[in-house]
Amino acid sequence: MPDTIMSKEPTSNLESAMQMLIKTFHKYSGKEGDKYTLSRGELKELLIEELGSYLGNSKDNEAVEKVMNDLDANNDGEVDFTEFIILMGALTVACNDFFLEYKTDEKPTEEKKE
């Protein structure tokens, strides 16, 4: 029943999160070449525009190349939806770890430099 997946308004935060992941991927994947995969250029645009503040606004090609090489498991220069979800999952787990560590510490005055 497609009505229950993409066409209706999400009724919970988890449904919203899933729709946002799907819609964001296709917003960029549809721009050039294969409509259902991200090219290097499309991935770069997605990372900078959607995850800029998480990636420390690093706009250099090197960071994008590294992510691309890590993600592109089958080495075809394109990132498919499953590869994208693996990236987002890993990022979310990392954020959660960081969040918990910070909450456990509860030392807001402590400065962590990277």
Report which of 49, 27, 54 is spatially closest to residue 38, judged by C-alpha positions: 27
Helices 81-105 and 13-29: angle between axes, nearest 10 degrees: 130
Tell the smallest beta-carbon distance from residue 17 to a copy of itself (Å): 4
92 lies in the binding site for a copy of itself (CB under 8 A): yes
Using CB under 8 A, pick the residue from 18, 31, 45, 67 that binds a copy of itself: 18
CB within 8 A of 86, min separation 6: which ones?
71
Using CB under 8 A, pick the residue from 33, 40, 45, 50 that binds a copy of itself: 50
Kindly tell me which of 60 and 112 has the beta carbon lying closer to a copy of itself: 112
